[in-house]
Structure 1
Amino acid sequence: MESLRCQIERFSLECHPHYIREQRQATAQKLTFDNFTDILGFLKDDRSSLHSCLLVSRDWFKMVVPLLWYRPFAHKLEKEKAALIIRTYVSCLEEQGRQRLMADGIKFHDLPKPFIDYPRYLRAFDFEHFRQAIDDSVSTLEISNPACDIITTLCREVLGYCLCNRSSGLRILKIDLLNVELYGPFLDIATIPGIENVLSQLQRFELLYLFETGDETSKRLSSLFTSMSSCSRNIHSISIIIHRVRTHLPSYFIESLAQLIQSQNKLRALSLNRFWNMSSSATIFTAMLKQAESLIYLRITPKDEYYDLINVLKCCTNLETLELLDLSPTKDSYMSLLNIPRNILNIKRLYCYDDWVNSEDEVMTKALILNMCTENLKILTLESAIPALMDLIGEYCSKITILSISISSNYLQNLLELISRLPLIHLTIGKTSRNNADKFNFTSEILQQFIISVPSTLISFGINFIIDTDNLAYLLREFPVQLKVISLYETRMSCDEVLYIILEYAIARRSLKELRYEMRKSRYMTSFSENMLSMARTIIPIIKQVKHFGDPIYEDYFETHYVY
C-alpha cells in the first residue's frame, strides 16, 4: 500500500506541468482537491507535519487549520501551549463574553479579534485536558477580583459561550471526573444553550467518574444522559468507567444511562466496568440486549452475572472483539445450569483478564466463552490458563494466529503441546502474577521441547517471565524460525545483559526488525542504559515501548476505529 507521504509527493508531482505533458496514458487518474483533503486527514495527529503545510498556499492553509483545531485538548499540553490555546479561544468571544469576564475581574491583554473562527472547527472535546489548560491559563492572568471563582468563570465562558455555541458539532466527548470537588461544580453541560445541536452529531462518548455519596455531579450527569438520549442518537462508541467508594449509584443515574444506551440507532462499541449493584443488573443488561445485534466490540466486567452475559452474547451476531475483565471462577455445577450452546460466537478477538490461580477441579468462567467460540477466533489473550482451557483452545479454536497467555509454571508442558498445534504468528508467554516465587524451571529438556514446539509460522515472540541470560542466549541461538519482533513485557528483563543477547541474535539472523519493551515503573527497576540503546538502534530499525501485558485494549480500539 502506498504510504501517505508518497501519496502527497505524487500529488505535488502530478501538479507539475512537465509531469502532465509526459503522461502517456490518457486515462490516468489524478488526485483531486478532495482527494488531497482526505490524505491530509490521515495526518491529523501529526501536528508537526501539519504545521509545515500551513504556509504552502492559501488552499493548503484552508485544509490544514480545521485539522489542527479539531481536537486541541487531546493530550495534556505544556503550560505555554495550553495558555495560548485558551487565549486564542477567549479572543474569539463576542464583546459581550469579554465584558462578562472583565466584570468578574478577569483581564486578557492584547487579544485582537482573529480572522479565523477557531471554535467552529472543534470536533473532539477532552474535558480533563481542557480543565488543565484552564488551570495553566489562570497563572498568566491579571486578576482584579481575588474572590472570583476564576476557573469556573473561564470554563463557563470558553466552554459554554465559545466552544459549544460556535462549534459545528462534536464527534467526541470525553469527560474525566476523578476529582469531583474540583470539576463537579461547573460540569453542567446539559444546561448550556444550544447543547442539543452541538451533541447531535456525537459519535463517541467516554466517561471516567468517581462517585461518592451526596455527590451532586451524579444528578448533572443523569441530566446530560437524558438530554443525549434525545439529541445524540447516532453514537457509535460508549465507554463508562465509574468507581464507587463503598456506596451504590442512585437508581435514576442507572436508568438514565441505560436509556442513553438503548436510544442509539446503531451502537458499535460498548465498554462498561461493573458500577451497578445486583438490583440494577436487569436494567443494564436489557439496554445491552437492545444493541446486541449491532455491537462489534464489547468490554465488560461480569461479576457473577454470567447468565445475563451469555444471553447478550447469544444475540451478538456481529461481535468481533470481546474483552472480559476481573473474571471470577465458576464451578462445573453452575456451568451446566446455563445450557450454553456451542459455536455461536463468531468473534475474531477475545481478551480475558483476571488474577486468579485455578485448581484442576475448578473450571474458569473463560471456559464458558471458549466453548461458544468458533474457529473464526484469531486473537486470544488469556490470563491464568489451566490445562482444561488449553484443551478447549486446541479443540475448538485451532486457527488462532496471535496468542498471549499466562500460566503457572506447572503447566508449561501443556502450553508447549498447545502451541505446537497452532498456526501462530505472534506468541507471548507470561507467568501468572499471584505467586512471584513460582518460576519457570528451564531445564535442558524443557528448552529443547520449547524449541521443537515453536510453529514454523512464528515471526513475533513476547517474553513476560524471568529467564536467566544463559538460557535466553541458548533459546534464541537455537530458535528454529527467523523472528522479526521481540517484546519484553517483564521489566526485570529490560537490562543491558538481555539487550546484548538480543543484539547478538539480530546480527546473526539479520531478521529482527523491531524490539519492544515495557518501561520500568520506578527508578528502582532495571532498564536499558542509553549507551546500549543507542548502539541497538544502529542494528534494530524500530525500538519502542510497549503496553503492559495485561492492559486492556479498549482505548486503542476506540482511537483506531473512529472516523472524524
Structure 2
Amino acid sequence: MTVAIEENTLQNLIPTPLTFDCFEETLSHLIDSPKTLYSCILVNRLWCRTAIPLLWSHPFEVHGFGERSSDIIQTYISCLPEDERQLLIDEGLDLPPSTPLLFDYSKYLQSFDSAFFTGAIMSWLTTRANYRLESDKDEEDPDLYTYTYLVQLIGNLLFSHSKGLRDLDLVHFGDDDDSLITDIATFDDASKALSRLEKFQFDYSAQKGVRELVIVEFWSPYVAEILFNSLICQWKSLTYLRFHQLDKDQFRLLLPILPTLINLETLQFLGFNSENENDDMIKSLLDISNEPINIKHLYYHFIDERLHLDAQNFIIPILQMSNNNLRTLYLDDVTPFLIQQIGINCRYLTHLSLTVTPEIPDLLFSLLISLQNLVHFSLYSNSTECTFSSTDSLIQFSEAIPECLKYFGFKLDFESLILGFFLKQCKAKLQVLAIYRSEFVDAAFLDELIKYAKEVGSLKKIMINWDGVIGGKTDDDTSDDLYYGDDEFENGEDGVRERIEILKTMVNVVYNIVDPSHPFSGPSMEYIDPWNQDITLS
C-alpha cells in the first residue's frame, strides 16, 4: 500500500527547524540501533517511512542466526508474488494466508552476508515451516531440497528488487563443505544489484580462527559428527559457542570436544531435544569424558514447551566437568538435585540466575550460604502461588542471602509484606533491586522500597519491568488512570505517583530492564521484535 503525503504535510511532521534532509540524516545515524529505530516507526507516518528502510537495510546482520531471523524470512515470503508463493505450497509447504504489506521490505536491502542469509533460511525451516509430504516423497529429504529452493527464490527477490547493494560478504567454510555456499551469480539481476558495491569481503578458509559459533540445526547425524570434529581445529580461538535444541546423541559428540577448547569462555544452550532420556543418562554421558573444561559462563534457556524434558541430564555433566571454573550460571527449569550439584561444582560463582517451579526448594538456602563470591542473583518463578511454603522458609531464604550480594532481581509472588520482611532480614547491602513482576508495585510496596533506601543507604537503582500490569491492574483495565509509556507507574493508583517521585530523589528508577544482549539484566529474550510484525499506520 502506498501512502501519499503532501509536501506541506511533511513540513508539519518534521520537528522544526529541521529540514527533511537533516531529519533523514539524523535517523540514519541510528542504523545500528534497531530497537531505537523500531520506536521511531511508531511516532507518525513520516518517521515510519524514514525508519523502515534503515531497519531493513541490513536485517541479517542483526538477526542472522536463531529464531528471530526466521521472522525476516517470513516477511520476505510475504513479499513474493502469489504465483511464487504457490510454488512453495506446491513443494509441500503450508504457508499462512498472504496479507497486504504496507512496504516492499525486499527493496531496502543494502548489506548481504551469505552466512547470515542461509542461517536465517535454516532458522525459518526449523521454526516456521510445516510440510505436507506426499506418499511418493516420503524417502526424500524435504528440508535440504526446500532449503536450496528457498535460497534461490528469496535471493531472486532481494537482488531483483534491490536498488543496489553497498556491502557484500561471502563465506565458504571449507573445501569439504558445500552445504552453505550461495551462488549469488544465479540470482535474478545480480549484475544490477552489485553495480553499486562499495565493500566486498570473501572468507574462504578452513576457519581456523573462529571466535564465535552459533549452531541452529544439524541436517543429519553425519553433518553433526563432521562439525564437532572440526571444532578441534578451533581449540585455541573459539571463545563463544551456542547450540539450539541439541539432542542426546549430538550432546554425546560435544562432551569429549569441550576439554580441547582451551579458550572457550561461554557455552549456551537454547533448549534440548531428547525423546528417551532416562536415569542412567548422566552416568553414561560422564563416562564419555571426565576431563575438566575451562568455561566461565554457562547459560541454559528453555524455549519450547512442547519439547519439555529434564534438562538436568544435560546440565549436570557440564557442571561436573567445569572444575569450579564457572563464574556465571543462568539456568531454567531448575530441580532440587540440580541445585545440589551447583553447590558441589560451582563454588566460585559471581552471577547466578535460576528459574524454579513451583516453590523454592530448601536446598537453595544452603546453596546461597555457600556462595561467598556472589554479587548478582536473579530468581524467577512462573507460579501464581506463594513462592514460600512457610514463614520459616522465607526467613531461611532472607538470611541465606550472602552479604557480598549487590544485585537482587526477582520474579516471585512478592507482595509488600513479604518484601518488607525480606529486606529487613537480608544482611546484604543491596545496590540494585530488579522487580520483574510489576503487578505487586502498589503504594505499600513502594513504601517498603523507600524505607529500605532511607535506612540502609546502599540502594542506587530500582528497576521495574513493564509486563502490562500496574499495581494489580492489567492491560484489560480501561480506567483513565492507566498510562502506557515511559511513566507507566506514575499515573497508577492513588499514592503511587507521589512515592515514585520520592524514590527518584533517592535512587535511579528505571522502568524497562529487559536487555536481550545481557542475560543478567532482566527476563531473557522478552523484548519487542521489529522483524516479527508489519507496521500499522494510523
TM range (shorter): 0.5 to 0.7
Amino acid at match of 2:452: Y
CA-CA distance at 1:390 after TM superposition: 2.0
Match of 1:229 among 159, 165, 171: 171
Q: Corresponding residue for 2:463?
A: 516
Q: Corresponding residue for 1:344?
A: 292
Q: Percent identity?
A: 19
- Quickly say closer, same or farther: Cα 1:276–1:502, change in 2 above 3 A: farther
2:528 is aligned with 1:540:
no
Q: Corresponding residue for 2:531?
A: none
- Structure 2 Cα separation of the partners of residues 464 and 172 of structure 1: 29
Say which structure is richer in helix.
1
Q: Corresponding residue for 1:454?
A: 401
* 1:43-122 matches, cutoff 5 A: 68=29, 71=32, 75-76=37-38, 77-78=40-41, 79-81=45-47, 83=49
Contact 2:212 2:240 in 1 (8 A): yes
- Quickly say closer, same or farther: Cα 1:72–1:376, change in 2 above 3 A: closer
Amino acid at match of 1:387: P
CA-CA distance at 1:482 after TM superposition: 1.3
Contact 1:489 1:517 in 2 (8 A): yes
Contact 2:459 2:507 in 1 (8 A): yes
- Structure 1 Cα separation of the partners of residues 118 and 443 of structure 2: 43
Q: Corresponding residue for 2:186?
A: none
More off after superposition, 476-485 vs 171-180? 171-180
Q: Secondary structure, in 3 states, of the residue corresponding to 1:539? A: coil
CA-CA distance at 1:85 after TM superposition: 7.6
Q: Corresponding residue for 1:502?
A: 449
Match of 2:339 among 390, 402, 415: 390
Q: Corresponding residue for 1:177?
A: 73
Amino acid at match of 1:400: L
CA-CA distance at 1:353 after TM superposition: 1.9
Contact 2:388 2:394 in 1 (8 A): no
Contact 2:407 2:431 in 1 (8 A): yes
- Quickly say closer, same or farther: Cα 1:370–1:69, change in 2 above 3 A: closer
- Structure 1 Cα separation of the partners of residues 269 and 179 of structure 2: 24
Amino acid at match of 1:325: L
2:217 is aligned with 1:274:
yes
Q: Corresponding residue for 2:247?
A: 303
CA-CA distance at 1:366 after TM superposition: 0.8
Q: Secondary structure, in 3 states, of the residue corresponding to 1:412? A: coil
Instruction: Give the structure-2-normalised TM-score.
Output: 0.59
- Structure 1 Cα separation of the partners of residues 48 and 384 of structure 2: 47
Structure 1 portions without partners, runs of 5+: 1-50, 56-63, 87-125, 133-169, 234-250, 556-564
Q: Secondary structure, in 3 states, of the residue corresponding to 2:255? A: helix
2:267 is aligned with 1:325:
no
Q: Corresponding residue for 2:363?
A: 414
CA-CA distance at 1:275 after TM superposition: 6.3
Q: Secondary structure, in 3 states, of the residue corresponding to 2:342? A: helix
- Structure 2 Cα separation of the partners of residues 187 and 284 of structure 1: 34
Amino acid at match of 1:303: D
Instruction: Give the structure-1-normalised TM-score.
Output: 0.57
CA-CA distance at 1:80 after TM superposition: 2.6
Amino acid at match of 1:503: I
Q: Secondary structure, in 3 states, of the residue corresponding to 2:224? A: helix
Contact 2:31 2:54 in 1 (8 A): no
- Structure 2 Cα separation of the partners of residues 188 and 265 of structure 1: 34
Amino acid at match of 2:150: T
Contact 1:345 1:373 in 2 (8 A): yes
CA-CA distance at 1:421 after TM superposition: 0.5
2:260 is aligned with 1:315:
yes
Q: Secondary structure, in 3 states, of the residue corresponding to 2:370? A: coil
Q: Corresponding residue for 2:124?
A: 210
Q: Residues 315-350 of structure 1: CA distance to partner in whole angstroms, max 9, x if unpaired?
A: 322111111121357434233333243452211111
2:375 is aligned with 1:425:
yes
Contact 1:269 1:298 in 2 (8 A): yes
Amino acid at match of 2:124: L
- Structure 1 Cα separation of the partners of residues 51 and 399 of structure 2: 58
- Structure 2 Cα separation of the partners of residues 412 and 469 of structure 1: 22
- Structure 2 Cα separation of the partners of residues 538 and 288 of structure 1: 53
Amino acid at match of 2:508: P
Q: Residues 76-127 of structure 1: CA distance to partner in whole angstroms, max 9, x if unpaired?
A: 34353465589xxxxxxxxxxxxxxxxxxxxxxxxxxxxxxxxxxxxxxx98
- Quickly say closer, same or farther: Cα 1:397–1:554, change in 2 above 3 A: farther
2:56 is aligned with 1:129:
yes
Structure 2 portions without partners, runs of 5+: 1-17, 82-103, 132-145, 160-167, 184-201, 469-473, 483-487, 492-496, 516-521, 529-538
- Quickly say closer, same or farther: Cα 1:271–1:464, change in 2 above 3 A: same
